[in-house]
Amino acid sequence: MTPFAINAGKFSTIGTYFLLIFIFCFAFLSGCQGSHVTEESKGDPGKTLFPLNENSINILNEDLQTFNSEIETNPSSSSAYIGRALIYLQETGTYEDAIRDSETALSINPDLAEPYIIRAAALVDMGHSGLYSVPGASGNPMSDLWLLSTRKRHEKAINDIGNFLEIEPGRPDAYFIRAHAFMDLHLSNESILDFDKVLQHEPSVYLRIMTLVHRSQAHRQLGNVELAVQDATMAMELLPGLEKAYGNIPKLVNWHGDDFGPNKIKATAYVNRGLAYDVQGSEQLAIRDYSSAIEYDRTYLEAYINRATTYTSIGLYEEALSDAEQAIGSHRFIVNGPNTGLAEAYNTRAMAHFGLGNIERGLSDVSQAITIDGNFARAYSNRSYMYTSIKELDLAIIDASKAIELDPDLATAYANRAEAHLRSNNLSKAVEDSTSALSRDSSLVGARVSRAISYLGMEEYTAAFEDANIVLTQIADYPEALFVRGASHLWITGGEKGHEDLRKVVELSNSKSLVEAAGSMLSFYDK
C-alpha cells in the first residue's frame, strides 16, 4: 500500500474530530468591512455642481426680487427666467423651481443654450438627494423608486448637456456637469473623458481643482490608484491660488458659508487622496491626509469616518472610536433620502467597538446603522460577522444573505456567510460562498482560509493545500494556513514538511485550541 493510501485511509477515521476542533478555534478572518465615504456620495444643499462663469456671477449679483419684478412686468423675458432659475439653483437650492424657470425660458426661445445647462445641473443635484439638518430629524430609506427616479434625472441631464454643447460647444462647465451625471450612473470611463475635456478647455482655477478632485475619484473607482493619487496631488498643488480665485467671486462664501469655502475644497482634495492611499494599502499616508482634511474643516463628517475606518484596519481601535464618536456627534446628517452619513458613522463605531471586544455595543451600533438605512449592505455583512463571533450562526447567515441580496458584488458578505456555513459544518456551502467571495476579491485572506479548511474537511487535500499555500505567500507564518497546509501534507505524503508546519502552529499560535489540535495531530503521526 502506498504511503498516500495508508495516510489517507488512516486519517479518515479521525479526520472529523480534528476538523471540528479546528473549526471552533478558527480565528475570524473575513473581518468587518470598512466604510470609507466620499464627498461625492453625499448630498448637500447649496453645493450645486453648476460651476461659476463670468455671466453667472453677474446674474448672482442681482437678487430674486429683481427677477420677480422683471417677470411680472415682462412675462416674455427669457433672460429674467434664466436669471431667476440660476438663483434658485445656486442660492436657494430649490431645484424644481430652477427646472420650471429653465423650461419656461426654453418655451419662450427654444434656441437658448443656458436653460439646458441650468436644468441639467438641477437634475444632477436632485439626484444627489440629501439635505443636512439638525439632530432628531429622520430620513427615508433608499428605495428602488428613488434609484429609478435618480437614474432618469441623470439620463435627462446628460441629454440636456448634449443639447447645450450643440449650441455652445467647448464650455468646460458643461462637461463638468455631464461628467458628474456619468459618475452617478457608475459610468466612470465616460466621466473621465468629460473631465479630460474640462481641463482641455482651460477652466478657472476653481473648476480645474474640482475637476482634478473628482477625476481622482473616478480613477479610484476604476482601480487606477496611481492616477487617482496623481490627480488629487495635482489638485492640492493648485490650492494656493484658490483664495485668489475666490477673490473674484466675493459672494460665493456668503452663499455657502464656511461649509463650501476654500477650506472645504482643500479638505475635499485631501479626503480624495486619502481614499486613494487607502486603496493602495498606504494606511499611514491616508491617515495623514484625512487629518489634514480635518484641520481645514473640523466639521467634515466623511474625514472622521474615513480616518476611523483606516484606524480600525490597522488595529487602532481607541483612535477609531474617538473619530466615530465625533462623526455621530456631528449635527450634519442626511434627512432627505438615504441617511448614509449617520448610518456610516454608526457602522464605523460598531467596527471600533468590536475591535475592542465590546461585541454587544458593536451589535447595537451596527443594528442602529441598519435602522437608519435599511438598504445598507455592508452593515448587514458586518452584523453577520458579529453574529458568527457569538455563535448565532442562523442569524449570521440571514444577515449575510440580505447583504448579498442588496449588493450581489459585495465580496465580504459571501466571505462572512462562508464562515458561518463553515462553523455550521456545512462545508459544501462554505466552499461555494468562499469561491464567490474570491471571484469578486481575490485578496480576501479570510475567504481563502475558510475554503482551505472546508476542503480539508471534505478530504480534498490537494485543493486545501493549494489555498493554504497561497495564503502563506501573502502572509508568512499565518497559523491557520500553516495548520491546513501541514495537515494536508500529512494526509497526502506523511512528509516532514507537514510536521514542520504543525510545529510552527504550536510555536506561533495564540489560540489554545489550535495549538492543541496541531499537537494532537503531531502526536498521532509520531506514534
What is the tens place of the pLDDT at every residue in 80-119?
A: 898 888 888 877 778 899 899 899 999 999 999 989 998 9
329-338: average pLDDT: 52
- What residue numbers bound the domain in which 470 lies? 1-30+444-527
Cα–Cα distance measured from residue 314 to residue 318, given in angstroms and rounded to the nearest whole number: 11
C-alpha cell at 51: 460651476
Judge whether 9 lies within some domain: yes
Residue 334 φ/ψ, nearest 5 degrees: -75, 135
Residue 232 has pLDDT above 50, yes or no: yes
**Given the C-alpha cell 502572509, which residue does it identify?**
475
- E strand or H helix at 132: strand 132-133
Residue position matching grid coordinates 469578486: 440
Terminal CA-CA length for the chain: 19
430-481: pLDDT as tens digits: 999 999 999 999 989 999 999 999 999 999 999 999 999 999 998 888 999 9
Decide if 13 is inside a domain. Answer: yes
474, three cell numbers: 501573502
Q: If phi over 0 gives left and psi between -120 and 50 gives alpha, with beta otherwise, what is residue 299?
A: alpha
Whether 168 is covered by a domain: the verdict is no
7-42 pLDDT per residue, tens: 222 233 334 444 444 444 454 555 566 666 554 433
What does residue 423 show for φ and ψ, rounded to 5 degrees? Answer: -70, -20
CA 340 centroid distance within chain: 11
Residue 499 located in a structural domain: yes
Q: Is residue 21 part of a domain?
A: yes
CA distances from 38 to 88, 220, 365 (A): 26, 11, 21
User: Among 33-37, 52-56, 270-274, 308-312, where is mean pLDDT lowest?
Assistant: 52-56
What's the number of domains the chain is made of?
1
Please tell me what DSSP assigns to residue 33: P
Residue 129, by phi and psi: left (phi above 0), alpha (psi -120 to 50) or beta? left
Rounded mean pLDDT, 153-167: 91
CATH number, domain of 527, equals: 1.25.40
In terms of pTM, does the model score above 0.85? no
Residue with cell string 492616477: 227
132 bridge partner residues:
334
The number of CA neighbours under 13 Å toward the Cβ of 15 is 21
Contact in structure between 457 and 472 (CB atoms under 8 Å): no
Range with the poorest average pLDDT among 183-192, 330-339, 367-376: 330-339
Q: Which amino acid is at 149?
A: S
Cβ–Cβ < 8 Å for 6, 322: no
Residue 402 within a domain: no
